[in-house]
């Protein structure tokens, strides 16, 4: 019984049991697609047939633009790399960028929102103005500028990952800042916070022990919605030539860029796999985020309860179904 309760309290399991109909289908589809992406990223060294920068095997060089075969299930790229291996290793690069970007955004955004909302004053006003100003910058343009500023266009593994993650972090921080700040402003006027002040609790203790733990409940929804945008930004950087070089790590956007000329020549296998990887990964994470957002919306929950109340049989309906109707009720007169 205890194990089942613990499993039910897990965020995804709890939300999955709450969902119904199309919403459950969307959530399950998102979990399957995201699970495949995470599995490929974690176990890439085990399931990838070749290395991401490997150009030859026991039979010699792979050759460029080779069609799908038993040795190369998805063919080879214009650079002579195995397409399937590049797609699998590219999932690992994308996952690393998502983890770094989201972790930095959440950490910085929570701290700024907590101090701004609790302390108020000129610090709060200044941070709000800065957060509003950041929204004026397009995400991709800011990512390109940061990528050039960090590594001067030289795209090594960690410089490329940090460049993409830093640009995404700058864009995402205001979102976490606003959410946390709004919750802190609401919570700091609650009775338990006033009680903590009366008994002499210090300001840092109140902020981190009482206020912070009650103001971050909606952040998982934002994390899932932002993760897909992080992958899209990384792919866009690689496609424009500011991503990661193929000899350092596999990156879907770079491979998609190099396959543009192949499409015109009828060579589809170099463009379709990385393109599908980007689309399906972004779609899977977006489906999870949208489903969790719908389940957390109180208005949608009220509609679902109203719909279930209309369709659920009442006790009177159960009695009427179990007992035969009288002749008078049917409109018959003796």
Beta-carbon contacts of residue 261 (< 8 Å; ≥ 6 apart): 78
Is residue 302 included in any domain, yes or no? no
CB contact at 8 A, 28 and 230? no
Is residue 13 included in any domain, yes or no? no
Is residue 23 included in any domain, yes or no? yes
Tally DSSP H helices, then E strands, for the chain.
16, 2
CB contact at 8 A, 98 and 231? yes
Is residue 89 included in any domain, yes or no? yes
What does the alpha-carbon distance between residue 85 and residue 304 come to, in Å, rounded to a whole number? Answer: 45
189 three-state secondary structure: coil
Checking if the pLDDT of 36 tops 90, the result is yes
Is residue 11 included in any domain, yes or no? no
Is residue 157 included in any domain, yes or no? yes
Beta-carbon contacts of residue 1 (< 8 Å; ≥ 6 apart): none
Domain that holds residue 98: 18-56+70-296
* CATH assignment of the domain containing 167: 1.10.3720.10
Exposed, middle or buried: residue 50 (CB in 10 Å: 0-12, 13-18, 19+)?
Answer: buried
Q: What's the angle, vertex CA 128, arms to CA 294 and CA 97, rounded to 5?
A: 60
Is residue 303 included in any domain, yes or no? no
82 three-state secondary structure: strand
How sure is the predictor about 122, in pLDDT bands with cuts at 50, 70 and 90?
Answer: confident
Mind listing the pLDDT tens digit for each residue in 6-34? 555 555 665 666 666 677 788 889 999 99
Mind listing the pLDDT tens digit for each residue in 225-263? 888 888 988 888 888 887 777 778 888 998 898 888 888
pTM over the 0.85 mark: no
Count of domains in the chain?
1
Distances, alpha carbon 223 to alpha carbons 32, 34, 118, 175, in Å: 18, 14, 23, 10
Is residue 118 included in any domain, yes or no? yes
How sure is the predictor about 276, in pLDDT bands with cuts at 50, 70 and 90?
Answer: very high
Mind listing the pLDDT tens digit for each residue in 42-90? 999 999 999 888 888 787 788 888 889 888 889 888 888 999 999 999 9
Pairwise pLDDT comparison (278 vs 328), residue with the higher score: 278
């Amino acid at each position: 019984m205890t194990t089942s309760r613990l499993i039910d309290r897990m965020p995804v399991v709890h939300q999955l049991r709450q969902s119904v109909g199309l919403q459950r289908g969307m959530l399950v589809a998102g979990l399957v697609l995201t699970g495949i992406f995470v599995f490929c990223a974690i176990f890439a060294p085990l399931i990838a047939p070749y290395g991401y920068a490997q150009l030859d095997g026991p039979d010699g060089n792979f050759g460029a633009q080779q069609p799908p075969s038993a040795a190369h299930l998805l063919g080879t790229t214009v650079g002579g790399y195995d397409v399937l291996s590049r797609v699998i290793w590219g999932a690992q690069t994308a996952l690393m960028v998502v983890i770094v970007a989201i972790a930095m955004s959440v950490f910085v955004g929570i701290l700024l929102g907590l101090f701004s909302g609790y302390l108020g004053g000129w610090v709060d006003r200044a941070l709000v103005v800065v957060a509003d100003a950041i929204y004026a910058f397009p995400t991709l343009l800011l990512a390109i500028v940061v990528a050039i500023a960090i590594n001067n266009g030289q795209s090594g593994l960690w410089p490329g990952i940090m460049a993409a993650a830093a640009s995404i972090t700058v864009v995402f921080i205001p979102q976490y800042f606003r959410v946390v700040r709004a919750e802190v402003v609401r919570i700091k006027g609650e009775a338990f916070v006033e009680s903590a002040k009366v008994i002499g609790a210090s300001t840092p203790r109140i902020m981190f022990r009482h206020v912070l733990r009650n103001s971050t409940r909606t952040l998982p929804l934002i994390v899932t919605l932002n993760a897909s945008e992080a992958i899209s930004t990384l792919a866009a950087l690689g496609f424009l030539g500011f991503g990661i070089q193929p000899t350092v790590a596999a990156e879907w956007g770079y491979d998609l860029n190099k396959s543009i000329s192949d499409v015109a020549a009828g060579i589809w296998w170099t463009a379709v796999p990385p393109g599908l990887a980007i689309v399906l990964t972004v779609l899977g994470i977006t489906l999870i985020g949208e489903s969790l957002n719908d389940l957390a919306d109180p208005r949608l929950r009220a509609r679902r309860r109203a719909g279930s109340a209309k369709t659920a049989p009442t006790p009177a309906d159960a009695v009427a179904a179990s007992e035969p109707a009288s002749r008078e009720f049917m409109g018959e007169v003796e």
